Amino acid sequence: MLTPSQVIVLATPVFFALIAVEWFIGLKRGRNAYALADAISSLNLGVLSQTSAVFTKLLTLGIYTFVASHVALIEAETFWMSLPGWVLALLFYDFCYYWLHRMGHEVGVLWAAHAVHHQSQAYNLSTALRQTSSGALLGWLFYLPMALAGVPPLVFAVVGLIDLLYQFWVHTEQVKKLGWFDRWFCSPSNHRVHHAVNEQYLDKNYGGILIIWDRLFGTFKEEDDKEPCVYGTRGLLQSWDPLWANATVYRQLAHDSWHARNWLDKVRVWLKPPGWRPTDVAQRFPKPVFDLDAHRILYAPPMSRPLRWFAGLQFLALVTGTAIFLWQADQSPLASNLIWFGVLLTGQWALGAAMQGRISPWMALMLQSGALATATAALGMREWHWLFKPATMGFALLCIATCVSPAWISIQKTSKNHVYLLLAAIVCSLSGDVFLMLDGQFRLSLFIPGLISFFLAHTCYIALFKTDTPWFASRRALWLIATIGAAMYAYLFTHGLPAAMRIPVAVYVSVIALMAAQAWGRYRVQQDRSALLVALGASAFMVSDSILAINRFVQPLPWAAIWVLASYYVAQALIVQGSLRWQARPHTATDLSAQPERLPSTQPT
Ligand SMILES: [Zn+2]
Ligand SMILES: [Zn+2]
C-alpha cells in the first residue's frame, strides 16, 4: 500500500500541471498572479514540510495509533470502515481541522507554526503548497477526539489527506464567486478572505472543506468586491530563506518572552493571540503600526535572467531529489534519511539565499556539492564521492574566478592580491582533497602529500588575512587559540600519535592555530560581518582537523566522515564568502537590466 508521502509524490505532477494552467490563464487575462522567486519559495516550503514530516510522522501518527488502539472509548472499527463511517470520519476530521486552524490564528505558539502558510504576498496555487514544518509538534492534540472515538489510523490518515488535497484548488484568484457553493464549502472566494490582512478580513473563514463551521461559530466573512484582498502576514517576512520562514515567529515570541519582566507575561506571550505583547516589552521594543499600503508593495529582490534560469533548474533538481527521498523514506534507515534530509535542506537554503542575492549561484553549487560529498562519504558511495569532492572546490574556484574582474574589485574595495591568494588557497585545498581522497587507494599512501597541500593552503590563508591587518591584532585570541592547539597536540601525542607523524602534525597544528589567531585578530580590527565569517571559518577548520586527527590517530569516531567533511566545507565556504565580501544584492552594477518582479494584479493603483 502507498504511504501518505508516496501519495504526495504521485500528486506532484498534478499540482504542477494545475499551477501551469493557472499561470497560463492569468497571463491570458492579463492578471498574472505568479512571481518566480515567490512561487519557488512557497514550493520550497512545501517540500520542506513533506521531508521533515518523515521524522515528525513518528510522533503524530505514532501517538494517534497508540491512543486509538489503547485508550479509545468506542470500539467500532467495522462502522468506521463502512461508507457512512468514512463520510462521518471526514466530517469529524474537518471539524477538528476547523479548531486546529482557528487556534492556529488565535494562539501565539500555534500561529508560529501556521504563519508559514500565510507569508506569501501572492495568492495562487503555489501558495497552497506553502506549508509549515513544525505544525506536527502540537497539531496532533486537536485530532485526539478522533482517536478517542476509535477512528482507525488508516481512516484518519486517508481523510486527513483528502482534507489537505481538497484545499489545494481554493488558492486561486482566477475563480470568482460560486454562489450557493460559497455558502457551504470552503471556496476560492472564502479562502481569499482567510489569507487577507485587511482589517475586515482578519481571522475569518477557517474551514477546510466545509465553511459551515465558520457560519456556526461566528467566524464567517464574505468577500467584498469593493475591498480587494491584500495577502500575507502582518509583519512581513521579506526573505526567501526556508529556515527563517519557519523560525521567525518562534523567534519573535522567544524574544518577547525573554524580555518580559513579569513571569506570567513570559508564559502569556505563547498563549495569547498573535500580536499581543507585554506592555513593558512593547515599550522597550516598539514595532511599527500596521499599514495596509506598505503590505501592497511586494518583496522582490532583483534577479537577472541567468539567475532566474539557475533558480528554475535548481528547483527542478530539488523536486526530483525530494521525490526519490519521499518514495523511499519509509523503508530506509533513520540515519540515511537524516543524511539525505540534510543534503536537501542545504540545497533549499542555498537556493533561497542565491535568489535573494545573499550568495552567488556558484557558492550555492559549492554548498550543495559539499553536502553531497559529505553524504556520499558517510554512506560509502565511493564513486559519487570521487565526483562531488573535487567538484566542491571546483565550484569554489568558479565562485572566486567570476569575481576577479576590475568592476568587482573596485566595488568590493579589495585588492587583486587578495583574490589571487584566495584562489591559491582553494587550488591547494583541492589538491589536498584529492590526495586524501585517494589515500590508501591503488596501494598509494598519499597522506603526507595531502598534509603538505593543506599546509600550503593554510599558509595562503595566513598571507590573505595579513594583507589588510597587522600580525595578531588580538593577543587574547592568539593565546586562547595557541592553548587550544597545544592541548590538542598534547592529547594526540599521549594517545597514540605515531612517532613518524609527530613533527608533521606539530607543524600542521601550529599553522592552523596561527591562521585562526590571525583571522580573529583581523576581525578585531575590521569589526565587520565579512571578517567575522572568515574568523568563524578558520575556527571551523580547527574543529574539522581535530575530529580528523582523533579519528585517525586515537580512535574511530561514530559518523566521523560527516563531522569532518561538514565542518570542513562550512570552513571553506565561510572563508570564501567572507573574503569576497559578498553582501546582499552585490551584483547591482552588472544587473541593471534585471527588473524587480511585479504582480500586476495586486499592485496599488
Ligand atoms: Zn490560516
Ligand atoms: Zn490557505
Q: Percent of the chain, pLDDT > 90?
A: 76
Same domain, 415 and 393: no
CB 45 within 8 A of CB 130: yes
Ligand nearest to the CA of 128: 2
* Alpha carbon of 102 to ligand 1 centroid (Å): 7
- Model confidence at 588, pLDDT cuts 50, 70, 90, reads very low
**How many A from CA of 193 to the centre of ligand 2?**
10
> In angstroms, what is the span from residue 426 Cα to ligand 2's centroid?
46
In terms of domains, do 468 and 360 share one? no
**Distance, CA of 22 to CA of 45 (rounded, Å):** 20
CA of 18 to the centre of ligand 2 (A): 16
Q: For residue 270, how far is its CA from the centre of ligand 1 (angstroms)?
A: 18
Separation of CA 129 and ligand 2 centre (Å): 9
Percent of all residues in the chain with a pLDDT value above 70, rounded to a whole number: 94
Number of CB atoms found within 10 A of residue 266's CB: 16
For residue 208, report the distance from its CA to the centre of ligand 2, in Å.
Answer: 9
Q: Once rounded to an integer, what is the mean pLDDT over residues 67-82?
A: 87
402: which DSSP letter?
Answer: T
Tell me the C-alpha distance between 319 and 495, whole Å.
47
What residues contact residue 40 under an 8 Å CB cut-off, 6+ apart? 240, 311, 312, 315, 351, 355
196 forms bridges with which residues in the sheet?
231
Quick count: other Cβ atoms within 10 Å of Cβ 7? 16
Same domain as 546, residue 510: yes
What backbone torsions phi and psi does residue 185 show, to the nearest 5 degrees? -115, 155
State yes or no: pLDDT of 142 exceeds 60.
Answer: yes
Is it the case that residue 423 has pLDDT exceeding 80?
yes
Ligand (nearest to CA of 130): 2
Give yes or no for residue 412 having a pLDDT over 70: no
d(CA 601, CA 605): 10
Q: How confident is the model at residue 316 (pLDDT cuts 50, 70, 90)?
A: very high
pLDDT single digits (tens) 464-503: 999 888 999 999 999 999 999 999 999 999 998 999 889 9
**Position 516 pLDDT exceeds 70:** yes
Q: Determine the Cα–Cα distance for residues 308 and 120; give it in Å rounded to an integer.
A: 19
Same domain, 64 and 141: yes
Cα(108)–Cα(10) distance, rounded to whole angstroms?
34
Give the pLDDT band (50/70/90) at residue 587: very low
Residues 119 and 144 in one domain: yes
**Does 348 share its domain with 211?**
no
- Ligand 2: centre distance to CA 309 (Å): 28
Question: Model-level pTM?
Answer: 0.91
220 CA to centre of ligand 2 in angstroms? 15
Distance in Å, CA 26 to ligand 1 centroid: 24
Query: Residue 244: how many CB atoms within 10 A of its CB?
Result: 14
The predicted pLDDT at position 8 comes to: 86
Residue 330 binned pLDDT confidence (cut-offs 50, 70, 90) = confident
- Ligand 2 centroid to Cα of residue 195, in Å, is 6
Its domain, for residue 323, covers 303-402
Task: Name which of 8, 21, 18, 35 is nearest 232 in CA terms.
Answer: 35
pLDDT digits (tens, 9 = 90+) for 232-253: 999 889 999 999 999 999 999 9
Q: Supply the mean pLDDT for the chain.
A: 90
pLDDT band at 73 (very low <50, low <70, confident <90, very high): confident
Establish how many alpha carbons lie within 13 A of residue 406's alpha carbon, considering only the half-sphere containing its beta carbon.
0
Q: Does 13 score more than 90 pLDDT?
A: yes
pLDDT at 401: 85
The Å distance, Cα 166 to ligand 2 centre, comes to 11
Mean pLDDT of 139-143: 93
169 C-alpha vs ligand 2 centroid, how far in Å? 10
> How confident is the model at residue 408, as a pLDDT?
63
Report the distance separating Cα 522 and Cα 349, nearest Å.
28
Is the per-residue pLDDT at 146 higher than 60? Answer: yes
Q: What is the pLDDT confidence band of residue 91, given thresholds at 50, 70 and 90? A: very high
Exposed, middle or buried by CB within 10 Å (0-12, 13-18, 19+), for 483? exposed
Together in a domain, 380 and 452: no
Residue 558 lies in a domain: yes
Residue count (the chain): 605
Give me ligand 1 centre to Cα 103, in Å.
9
- Separation between Cα atoms, residue 173 and residue 32, nearest integer Å: 10
Dihedral over alpha carbons 24, 27, 29, 33 (to 10 degrees) = 100
Whether residue 605 is predicted with pLDDT greater than 70 in this model: the reply is no
In a domain, 57, yes or no: yes
The pLDDT confidence band at residue 585, using thresholds 50, 70 and 90, is: very low
Ligand number, closest to the Cα atom of 124: 2
Q: How far is the CA of 119 from the centre of ligand 2 (A)?
A: 10
pLDDT tens by residue, 248-306? 999 999 999 999 999 999 999 999 999 899 999 999 999 888 889 888 888 989 999 99
For 311-338, the DSSP string reads HHHHHHHHHHHHHHHHHHHTTS-HHHHH
Is 231 a member of any domain?
A: no
Query: Of the ligands numbered here, which is closest to the C-alpha atom of 206?
Result: 1
pLDDT of 71 reads 87
**How does pLDDT run across 177-229, given as a tens digit for each residue?**
999 999 999 999 999 999 999 999 999 999 999 999 999 999 999 999 999 99
Q: For residue 362, with 0-12 CB atoms within 10 Å meaning exposed, 13-18 middle and 19 or more buried, which class applies?
A: buried
Confidence of residue 583 (pLDDT cuts 50, 70, 90): low
Is the domain of 48 the same as that of 173?
A: yes
Residue 478 forms part of a structural domain:
yes
Give the number of whichever ligand sits closest to the CA of residue 131: 2
How many angstroms is it from 117 CA to the middle of ligand 2?
6
**What would the mean pLDDT of 394-398 be, rounded to a whole number?**
95
In a domain? residue 13: yes
Q: Separation of 445 CA from ligand 2 center, angstroms?
A: 59
Residues 189, 324, single domain; the answer is no
254, part of any domain: no
Instruction: Note whether residue 40 is domain-resident.
Output: yes
DSSP letters of 69-114?
HHT-S---HHHHTSHHHHHHHHHHHHHHHHHHHHHHHHSHHHHHHH
- Residue 603 pLDDT more than 50? no
Distance 105 CA to ligand 1 centre (A): 6
Question: Is there a domain that residue 479 lies in?
Answer: yes
Q: Which residue has the higher pLDDT, 599 or 526?
A: 526
- The number of folded domains in the chain is 3
Last residue of a domain, one of 402, 433, 453: 402
The contacts found for 549-556 with CB under 8 angstroms, 24 or more apart, are 549/488, 549/492, 549/505, 550/491, 550/492, 553/492, 553/495, 553/496, 553/497, 553/498, 553/501, 553/505, 554/491, 554/492, 554/495, 554/496
In terms of domains, do 497 and 458 share one? yes
CB atoms within 10 A of CB 518: 28
The answer on pLDDT for 535 being more than 80 is yes
In angstroms, the first-to-last Cα distance of the chain is: 53
Nearest ligand for residue 164 CA: 2
- Position 128 scores a pLDDT of 96
Identify whether residues 68 and 105 lie together within a single domain: yes
- Number of neighbours of residue 72 by Cβ within 10 angstroms: 17
**Does one domain contain both 513 and 368?**
no
Instruction: For residue 405, name the pLDDT band (cuts at 50, 70, 90).
Output: low
Domain boundary (217, 232, 253) is at 217
Contact by Cβ (8 Å): 581, 530: yes
Cell numbers 582553494 correspond to 426
For the chain, the C-alpha Rg in angstroms (whole number) is 27
Decide which of 352, 381, 402 is a domain's last residue.
Answer: 402
Q: What is the DSSP letter of 136?
A: H
